[in-house]
Structure 1
């Protein structure tokens, strides 16, 4: 049984001599095992051995009937203390894995009572290697193909991993086993597709895929646990032509970069990204912005280099059916009154239509029966800082507007004509 953590051995006799402990723990490996009797060659009593960088051979402490008390009040924080009778020391443990610490304390308790720990295997009390004691690695940067680990695994403790300029054609599945990973930078590689299981990175907050060959963005990415953790996403300089409707589920996003792709439009659910503050989508093929774009509250937006079309508020695309079909009426009512629905209640195709419903200028939903037009919006309405849209110094961009009825469209025209006169 072994445990890696920080250890501080405090002598309870020091205050007697008017001395203080240094009060600082050291990285160590603790082993619980039987000390072999050199004469008989048989296993003897169970000992606790503590190995540090300064003492790799280790210090040994007998456990059987030698523990005065076990302090486990803060075990959920990775802390515990073993108080020995002889010598009179307190072995203070901290920064330990909670599950491993619980098993370790259980084994120590059984050893104190002279009982067999059972299914938990005892370790050999031998000196440890330097690599076993060293502090877990939190960051790793690989910027050359020759440095890429082929036979070795990535350290399980990594929180920040950068692998750039390594000509990776796919995401290494070993990376998806790094459960503590918070930042992953795979920029400047040859990645064409993201794995379906990328959501296994449950703690991931920043993902950089700058300058790769991505042609599509997986729906599984948006449906994974990343929708609750991901705060920064860099997809710039790829070959993306579209983003899925489910992209709006990444509601924790704060920073989004989509520069230098082949996007024809932004996902119309982008307005659901309520925490988004920085958006950059320069040098794409975007002709107009989705209606929900007006719901964003940004600090900076950059849409330079897109072939925006001219606004045509007086030339609508009328797809309104009068009277409204029954399905349209029922669908609008379902969304407006927030009636629960699902494939167990209504056809899956109808569920899909409801999930991509449009929003009228009046705030009410519409699905397949609507009036559509393109209007100009000053980007300062949604962002504090606006990078010029074109070389002419403009800060306005075309936005698609939907109207659920002739009444709503007429009211919009009246407002538009009045503002034009002014």
Structure 2
């Protein structure tokens, strides 16, 4: 029976002599087995053997009636300590697979009680293989097509993977089997489409797709496990014309880059990205910003090079219907009074319309009946640092505003005219 983890063997007598232990674990493989006896016919001893990269032959410790205590308070975190009587050492285990660790500790206990031979078949202890004591590879960077593995698999222990300048036309499905990935960098390739299985990377925090050929960001990814893990997303230098409606479900997103695309609008509810701190959408085709943009609290903002239209609050787009339809009244009531709704209560298309309700300056909601205008906003209101919007040194951009009634628009218009006298 074997267990791969990090091990630190602490001599309890060292403090007596004024000495300290090293204080950190080493990648090792632990084995329970029988020690090869030199005298033929003599009963073999059941031992715990610890092999490391520097000591592949391993150190052996007798187990029968030699365990003073088990410390298993943090076993659910892959940690445990076995205190031996002779020699006076503590074997501290960490970063172990929880289920394997529990099984291993049970075997150690049986060996201590002298019952292991009856319960488990044990082999003769042999030195560990190099692969068993080598620390798992967590980072891999491939920056040329010649180095790309065609026949070999990626190490399953990878937490960071970069594959750039390899002319990939699609995401290699072998990458999507790396369940420990926290960072995936696929920049400078020719990827046109993202598979929905990207959403199965439950620990992915940073996803870099800079300089590819993406035309669509799959909406299904917005409902995947990425919405709870993704913190940084780089979609710059692609061919995106829009981001999906539910993009704002990425509630953990801190950094978003969509520079050098063909975006004609930003997500309607982008203001719901409450953790977003760095946002750049330079050199796109944005004419105005959505109303919810005013709800962001950024540290750095870059909107340079967009053809923003000139704001004109005096020229409204009137979609207001008087009297309001029964649907509009009911829908406004559902949103305003925060009445719960879902697809098992209402038809899916109604839920979709409620999800994109507009918010009036007065705080109430409207759906298909409204008045909208564009107003000028100084971007410093939403960001500490702002890159100039144009070559003229401006830091202002047009934001679309909605009004649920003629009364609300009239009040806004009165304030606007008074402030510009």
| TM-score, reference length from structure 1 | 0.91
Question: In structure 2, how many angstroms separate the alpha carbons of the residues matched to 1:381 and 1:155?
Answer: 46
Q: Which residue of 2 aligns with 1:8?
A: 8
Counterpart for residue 239 of structure 2: 239
User: What is the distance in 2 between the residues matched to 1:118 and 1:48?
Assistant: 17
Equivalent residue number for residue 263 of structure 2: 263
Q: Is the 8 A contact 2:14 2:21 kept in 1?
A: no
Cα 1:19–1:318 change in 2 (3 A) is closer
Instruction: Report the counterpart of residue 364 of structure 2 in structure 1.
Output: 364
How far the C-alpha of 1:142 sits from its partner, in A, is 1.4
Residue 420 of structure 1 corresponds to which residue in structure 2?
420
Shift of 1:86: 4.4
For structure 1, the residue ranges without an aligned partner over 5 or more in a row are none
Q: Tell me if the contact between 2:36 and 2:124 (Cα under 8 Å) persists in the aligned partners.
A: no
2:215 and 2:343 mapped to 1: Cα distance? 31
Moved more, 393-402 or 53-62: 53-62
Give unpaired runs (5+ residues) of structure 2. Answer: none
8 Å CA contact 1:10, 1:21 repeated in 2: no
| Mapped partners of 1:61, 1:167: distance in 2 | 53
CA drift at 1:19:
7.3
Equivalents in 1 of 2:37, 2:153: separation in Å? 38
Q: 1:68 to 1:274 in 2, by over 3 A?
A: closer
In 1, are the aligned partners of 2:248 and 2:272 still within 8 Å (CA)? yes
What are the superposed Cα offsets for residues 352-405 of structure 1, whole Å, 9 maximum, x if unpaired? 110111111222111111112222222122222222212222222111111111
Match of 2:398 in 1: 398
Q: Identify the residue that residue 304 of structure 1 maps to in structure 2.
A: 304
SS of 1:173's equivalent?
coil
Aligned length: 420
Residue 257 of structure 1, CA deviation: 0.7
> For 2:347 and 2:251, how far apart are their aligned partners in 1?
27
Matches of 1:61 and 1:2, distance apart in 2: 15
The 5 Å alignment of 1:33-112 reads: 33-35=33-35, 46-112=46-112
Alpha-carbon shift at residue 241 of structure 1 (Å): 0.8
Question: Alignment RMSD, CA only?
Answer: 2.6
Distance 2:379 2:309 in 1: 15
Partner secondary structure for residue 146 of structure 2:
helix
| SS of corresponding position for 1:329 | helix
Per-residue CA deviations over 1:307-334 (Å, capped at 9, x if unaligned) read 1122232222211111111111111010
The separation in 1 between residues aligned to 2:42 and 2:310, in whole angstroms, is 89
Over 3 Å counting, the alpha-carbon distance change for 1:66 and 1:173 in structure 2 is same
Structure 1 position 163, deviation (Å)? 1.3
The aligned counterpart of 2:183 is 183
Counterparts in 2 of 1:34 and 1:305: CA distance versus 1, 3 Å: same
Contact 2:181 2:203 in 1 (8 A): yes
Distance 2:46 2:207 in 1: 48
For 2:268 and 2:27, how far apart are their aligned partners in 1?
A: 52
Q: Counterparts of 1:149 and 1:258 in 2: how far apart (Å)? A: 30
Structure 1 residue 173, shift from structure 2 partner: 2.4
Aligned 1:302-381 pairs, distance under 5 A? 302-381=302-381
Report deviation, 1:21. Answer: 6.0
Structure 1 CA distance, aligned partners of 2:326 and 2:205? 44
Which aligned runs of 4 or more in structure 1 are off by greater than 6 angstroms?
13-16, 36-43, 117-121
